[in-house]
Amino acid sequence: MIIDMRTYTHKPDHYRKFLKIYQESGYAITARFLGFNMGLFTRSNEEVNTTIQLFAYEDHDHRDECRRNYLSSMDKQAFTNGEEGADGCIRIQRSICIIPTDFSPIQDRNPDNPVFRDEAVGKRMIEWNTYFIKPGYREEALDIFRDSLYPLADKIVPYTLGYFTSDSGPECIFEMRAYRSLQERTETIKVLREDAAYSQAYKQLSCCLLDFDSNIWEAMPMSPIQ
């Protein structure tokens, strides 16, 4: 499986318009054409007026076929074209393909994966962490996540959804977690930092890192991931 992660920065006065268009028609259209639509998310920190969409495909050939059918469809034209369409709301568009690691809870396009939602909780906040890896250090970093960081964190973090690597471009490892609230996230991070074994493993990982970035996402109501 590959995931097409598409990030859109919107014109400030068109941001809510895009969300309205997507909720009313865009989600249904993209879900029909673009593999498995894992959800639409808004960003709660750093660059606001931003949405993130995750589309899962079997492979690159499947993605190319789905996108050809989507781009040639009349539904797509009605959804995106013109001043009143979704494209008129977008200022910048970025797209990367990411791949689940062998230890990621999200492995396939199964919509019934239990990590996608917790019915007892309802809506959760999503944490998306990006680890920028030094050239040539990705396998070492993955070993640290697989053997140490993920097993240790899984005892403390309420929900670990997935670990992914970049398919091309700069070497990155992506970590996707969920929390019931911002307070729970703050308390969890504090516990992780105070855990001696986790801190030691993270110190080992730091030797592989160029940089680190963390963002908070909020899932739109129609998103399978909540």
Q: What is the mean pLDDT of the chain?
A: 94
The full set of domain ranges for the chain reads 2-97, 99-219
Determine the pLDDT at residue 82: 64
Asked whether this chain's domains 2-97 and 99-219 adopt the same fold, the reply is yes
Distance separating alpha carbons of residues 206 and 210, to the nearest angstrom: 8
- 48 pLDDT band, cuts 50/70/90, is confident
The structure's pTM equals 0.94
How many residues in total does the chain contain? 226
- Which contiguous run of DSSP H or E holds residue 61? helix 60-71
Average pLDDT of the segment spanning 183-195 = 97
CATH 3.30.70.100 fits 99-219, yes or no: yes
Average pLDDT of the segment spanning 111-124 = 91
- 9 pLDDT band, cuts 50/70/90, is very high
Determine the pLDDT at residue 173: 98
Burial 97-107 (b: 16+ CB within 10 A, else e): bbebbebbbbe
Number of H helices, E strands in the chain: 8, 8
Determine the pLDDT at residue 83: 63
User: Would you say residue 65 has pLDDT above 70?
Assistant: yes
Residue pair 163/173 in contact by the 8 Å Cβ criterion: yes
User: Would you say residue 127 has pLDDT above 80?
Assistant: yes
Q: pLDDT per residue over 135-177, tens digit each?
A: 999 999 999 999 999 999 999 999 999 999 999 888 999 999 9
Distance separating alpha carbons of residues 52 and 97, to the nearest angstrom: 13
Cα separation values, 115 from 94, 110, 112, 126, 183, Å: 26, 11, 9, 12, 21
Q: Which amino acid is at 105?
A: P
Of the ranges 32-36, 78-82, 90-94, which is most confident? Answer: 32-36
- 103 pLDDT band, cuts 50/70/90, is very high
Determine the pLDDT at residue 46: 67
| CATH number at 2-97 | 3.30.70.100
Compute φ and ψ for 94, nearest 5 degrees. Answer: -130, 145
